[in-house]
Amino acid sequence: MSDAPVSTPATKPIAEETSLAQDRASIDATKCDELIEKSILLIEEKIRSSGYEVCINRDFYALRDYINSVGAYDSPIFDPDEHDLKTNALWLQVKSKDGTTVASHAERAFECRDFVSEFIETDRIWFTKGVDIETHKWRTQIHHPSVVLSGNVSIAGSMFVRKEHRGTGVSLYLPYLSRSIFMRDHKTDWNTGLVRENILNSRIPTEYYGYPRTALVFSGTLPRTNSAFTDIHLCWISRQESIERLRQLANHPRYPIAVE
């Protein structure tokens, strides 16, 4: 038996195999980037074809004015007096043909090792220095999700569609559009949101917002509310899951968009 090393023409050096794998990964990443960019264009066009205008707005005082005008929850997550929102946040403003703002959706990005520990458990997601009341008076202990949300993580909120403009698909289009923008501009690894128990028990988090899962994060009120304690759930979706959800939009029963 020969002692010569086993080698065939089909065998490639490890460095070459690694290079090929990197090339494939680069191609896959490029395809995903192209899909994300295409989804932004198509969802924006879908909103316009429904009779609305949609734009990116970074004036969070304008968001506050709209939210207060419709009597919705003014989340301190997007308070421009509390946070520096110049580079890591935006809100999508939808206007009717007469120029009236009829819907909003905000999102904000972070770079972190553990999003829940660093921002939710410390209350910094709401206030830079934390909530200025004793914790037990407004929430219970934080429950951590089954995975650590690390890297580039965003949180969405301040979603409100005027009643007379519901049922048009806007409440589905905005979360998907915002996620795609953040995946493109902030390279988000995870996108998240917080929902009350009453919304959790509806189709909104999964069918409209597109989150594949939710989990209890704490019981309590939300800052700047006087409501009774209720369960607050964290929704999260990974970058790859977000891309798969974009692909599945073509099969949505009410508001399909073919992004491929």
Work out the pLDDT band at 87, boundaries 50, 70, 90.
very high
The rounded distance, in Å, linking the Cα atoms of 168 and 183 is 25
Q: Is residue 98 situated within a structural domain?
A: no
Contact present, 126 and 76 (Cβ < 8 Å): yes
Q: For residue range 48-58, list pLDDT tens digits in order.
A: 999 999 999 99
The answer to which of 10-14, 155-159, 209-213 has the lowest mean pLDDT is: 10-14
- Which amino acid, one-letter code, is at 95? K
**Confidence at residue 231, expressed as pLDDT on a 0 to 100 scale:** 93
Q: Is residue 124 situated within a structural domain?
A: yes
3-state secondary structure (DSSP) of residue 151: strand
Q: Is residue 257 situated within a structural domain?
A: no
Work out the pLDDT band at 43, boundaries 50, 70, 90.
very high
> Can you tell me the mean pLDDT for 166-192?
97
Q: Is residue 228 situated within a structural domain?
A: yes
Q: Is residue 203 situated within a structural domain?
A: yes
Residue 141's CB: how many other CB atoms inside 10 A? Answer: 10
What is the number of structural domains in the chain? 1
Residue 97's CB: how many other CB atoms inside 10 A? Answer: 8
Work out the pLDDT band at 15, boundaries 50, 70, 90.
low
Q: For residue range 227-260, list pLDDT tens digits in order.
A: 788 999 999 999 999 999 999 999 999 999 999 8
> Can you tell me the mean pLDDT for 203-222?
89
- Over 90: is that where the pLDDT of 81 sits? yes
Q: Is residue 214 situated within a structural domain?
A: yes
The rounded distance, in Å, linking the Cα atoms of 154 and 179 is 9
Give, in order, the Cα–Cα distances in Å from 162 to each of 70, 80, 101, 159.
7, 23, 9, 10
Q: What are phi and psi of 39, to 5 degrees?
A: -65, -35
Contact present, 175 and 210 (Cβ < 8 Å): yes
Alpha-helical (H) ranges within 70-213 are: 115, 170-185, 197-200
**Confidence at residue 9, expressed as pLDDT on a 0 to 100 scale:** 46
> Can you tell me the mean pLDDT for 145-149?
96
> Can you tell me the mean pLDDT for 119-138?
87
Nearest to 89 by CA among 156, 173, 176: 156
Work out the pLDDT band at 13, boundaries 50, 70, 90.
low
The rounded distance, in Å, linking the Cα atoms of 15 and 13 is 5
Portion of the chain with pLDDT greater than 90, in percent:
75
The rounded distance, in Å, linking the Cα atoms of 190 and 241 is 9
Residue 114: burial class (beta carbons within 10 Å; 0-12, 13-18, 19+): middle
Work out the pLDDT band at 96, boundaries 50, 70, 90.
very high
HSE, side-chain direction, 13 A CA sphere, residue 87: 2
For 135, the domain range is 16-51+109-251
> Can you tell me the mean pLDDT for 36-42?
97
Residue 255: burial class (beta carbons within 10 Å; 0-12, 13-18, 19+): middle
3-state secondary structure (DSSP) of residue 44: helix
3-state secondary structure (DSSP) of residue 161: strand
Q: Is residue 78 situated within a structural domain?
A: no
- Mean pLDDT of the residues in the chain: 90
3-state secondary structure (DSSP) of residue 232: strand
Task: Give residues with Cβ within 8 angstroms of 131, minimum separation 6.
Answer: 123, 138, 223
